[in-house]
Amino acid sequence: MLFHKPYGVLSQFTPEDGARSLAEFDLPPGVYPAGRLDKDSEGLLLLTDDGPLIEQLLHPRHQKPKTYWVLVERVPDEAALQRLRDGLRIEDYTTLPCQAQLLQPQPQVAPRDPPVRVRKSVQDVWLEITVVEGKNRQVRKMTAAIGHPTLRLIRRSIANLQLEALAPGQWRAIAREDIQWGDMAAAGSQASAGTTSRRPLGSPVISARRPGAWFHKGR
């Protein structure tokens, strides 16, 4: 399943410390996140019922490009963007080279609830950043390291899988063969592959239902 995780929602089915969880959304039973997004991040989250596939997707040797739209404070100059591209020291590691550019034209993105803090005297801009790592809050730490704190972060793609027109809280099914990176398309159990939807990657959303129709707890 491709799911557009809204802001403020945990990447898990069990609520914690009063935060919202995936249990609020009309997701099929038995699926689990393959990876995660922080509670204060938004965008594409992949879920599946195939445990071996999740393990393979999360293994560090399978470096998958992940693209984010990142709203940052003030306009970075080319030198700052090049620092991101080259890799920079963050805490106890150095990031791998990445792609980073100012989005031109700036995208029209629906407002967030709650809204992003706006200062009239400071111009905020959207960057597009593509990384192949998945360290904790890495993109936020990267932009902070060049002096441009992240105000909002939306994951737009994981390898060939795209967020496209999914609205926050919506999901759609994809087929195993739609996952195209390395040997991932053929990975996992034959049983799961035999029951996976064969709906093509570009098919319309099959669930745009409001959250709360029914719940899956304790997953």
Active site residues: 38
39-69 core/surface letters (b: 16 or more CB in 10 A; e: else): bebbbbbbbbbbeebbebbeeeeeebebbbb
Angle, alpha carbons 94-96-98 (nearest 5°): 130
d(CA 31, CA 207) in angstroms, rounded, equals: 15
Longest dimension (CA), the chain: 57
- DSSP 8-state class, residue 25: S
Cα distances from 188 to residues 58, 85, 177, 179, 209, in angstroms, run 13, 34, 11, 12, 29
